[in-house]
Amino acid sequence: MTKKFFLLFLFLFAIIDLSCGSGHQRNAPGEYHRVTRVIDGDTFVIETSPGNEERVRLIGVDAPETRRTRNREVGHYAEESKAFLSKMIENQMVRLVYDVNKYDRYQRILAYVYLRNGTFVNAEQVKRGYAVVMTVPPNVEHAETFVRLQREARENNRGLWREN
């Protein structure tokens, strides 16, 4: 009798779990979305559905700012960083993979971003010297890789590490 109740419970749980689906999530991990525009070297906009867009922030990297604000000047190498990211992802389908936190305080999606060919966009920005490492716990899955790539970029004078 106990075994029957257990199996019934398990069956009902499975049905409830499947019926909840991913429709309640704003953006399920691993989904592909088209990039509509690049804002700077670490932030861009995706189309989540026809007529709806959301901003995405690359996890683990920080690129120079392209706009002057009250507290910050335009960053050295900002336009080059934005141009490199634009060339790589603008109008492309990208796959978003999340870490622990899916959104930042500005409600931007936080993601590790991949092209269809497997290129890891976050890593490319650091590897080519178009961004520096910025680790914000708890999103630290690739932090060690980013630190290694930044060291290599600096040692090889790539991107913003070039000596003028």
The 3 state secondary structure assigned to 91-106 is CCEEEEECCCCCECCC
Which candidate in 65, 80, 124, 128 is catalytic? 65
Question: Is 54 a catalytic site residue?
Answer: no
Q: β-strands 109-115, 52-58: how paired?
A: parallel
| Backbone phi and psi for residue 137, each to the nearest 5 degrees, phi listed first | -55, 145
Question: Is 108 a catalytic site residue?
Answer: yes
Rounded Cα distance, 40 and 114, in Å = 17
Question: Is 65 a catalytic site residue?
Answer: yes
Rounded Cα distance, 18 and 62, in Å = 38
- Reduced to 3 states (helix: H, G, I; strand: E, B; else coil), residue 88 is helix
Residue type, 99: D
Which candidate in 26, 31, 53, 57 is catalytic? 57
Rounded Cα distance, 40 and 130, in Å = 10
Rounded Cα distance, 59 and 97, in Å = 10
Which candidate in 80, 108, 124, 128 is catalytic? 108
Active site residues: 57, 65, 108
